[in-house]
Structure 1
Amino acid sequence: MSLQQATDGDLEKIEIALLLEGIFRRYGYDFRNYSYASVRRRIWHRIHLEGLNNVSSLQERVLHQPEAFGRLLGDMVIPVTEMFRDPAMFRAFREDVVPLLRQLPNLRIWHAGCSTGEEVHAVAIILHEEGLLDKTRIYATDINESALQQAKDGIIPIERMKQYTKNYHAAGGIQSFSDYYDSDHGVVILKPYLRNNVVFARHNLVTDRSFNEFHVILCRNVMIYFNSQLRDQVHRLFYESLANEGFLVVGDKESIAFTPKADKYDTWNEQYRLYRKMR
């Protein structure tokens, strides 16, 4: 590597650091401890779409034009989700966790990083089928207000339903999946009663604190975008937010191993990343 190449790489890191610092101070969104490779890729994607040449030009635009920041934010928090994604995990949740939840007088569940709400509705369906939905309060939070609005509306493109139906049955669904939605003009509207006990709210895992005590926290495939410092910080938040013997569910590419609270959990199902907080 030449001295010029090394210098260019260092300069880009400085530019990105300044951009992320500016976003935090101007808009309150903190991406400073996200994975550098992921952040860099998304920033350059936006630079090309904006017709710009470098990170500093993007910084000037997003700090002076809130609508440009909105476009960048959409790139930084791309919603990736589907109903009953990883069906075997949802089957394990139904078979291994739900029987214990049934013993509680009421339930509080937190979907952290709920995106457009597909997994929120999936869990609501399981709880409905298991007779627990009426005694459950689900808190569905995300950093992206646009995604939260989609979750509140419960509207899904109809072309996704074939895959979602397949996922539902693989996850142990016991009814006809079509019972849970109405179709109209090329979209699917999930039944409103699935959201009756859901509170949708903006919450930033990076900067916000615990706001309740929960019996289950689901945060699947969100922390893969965090560096180790931020991941440890979020795991402390989840530990503080879980009731004794509460369950933590993370994504299939994630684990609590080597996190500050790893020794405070029993591994309930390692294959599907289900963990239970010890007393």
Structure 2
Amino acid sequence: HQVRQPEDVIDTVYWSNEDYESFSIIDDKAFNNNEFTIGWYHSHPGFKVMMSQLDVKTTLSYQQFNNLAVSLVFNPTRLIRQIEVPYKKGDPIKQLEEDPGFKIFRLDNINSGIEASYHEVSYEIQGYESMEQLVRQTQKFIIEITNFFPKDNIFKTYEKYITTKINDLNSKLLGTEEYLTTLERKGEGHRTKEVLENQVKDIRKFVAETFINIENIKEFMKYLEFKERHRVIPKVEEILNNWDEAVSKLNDKFTELANKF
């Protein structure tokens, strides 16, 4: 939970009571699964992957209880563009290759406090055939999750999306009925069965594509900050359910059209 106080010279992190409650819940869940917290991670979007003095201070709070604790620093720009951000203005940009966009650090001597130096920790990533596969899939994930979490009001964004999709569906159904009516009026009733079948296929394809997008939205809700989930997810699900209601009687509508024409 990052806020800016008037007296701060640089951005400083302050933990709220809600944050501490979230930490406690997460730790309890991990403990119940025979797991434990091994460190923390945060992002440096658009600037160098390193440890600031504030990062060192935060990492100290973990290594004081577990000397093997680590800090993971991630830069999505580094991952997407595969470049090393210059340390200072004027330095050349370094081109990278198959870089995951993050580094893992550990403090050398916690007794040095916030003056402690740190080193990069080697790691092994499992579950991927190669680093190239990891980078490609993660790049895709970053782009998609950015699109699924709009900067504007998330509720209004999804309300607009669902409303548009429902209107498009109703427009397709109305257009189909008007088309079939026109064929009947022109004496081309023999074509209605074929036309209806094609229109139904087109509408079902539209519904399937929308369904996939909605399922992706639900999946990406899992990546919300822990303390936001109870506030955001129920409201988003309520909005998305409007689509389910809209398509629940779709087969009845197709049957109605088939009987009518």
TM-score using structure 2 length: 0.30
Higher relative contact order (CA 8 A, sep 6+): 1
The structure with the greater share of residues assigned to strand is 1
Q: Answer with 1 or 2: which has the greater Rg.
A: 2
TM-score using structure 1 length: 0.28
The structure with the greater share of residues assigned to helix is 2
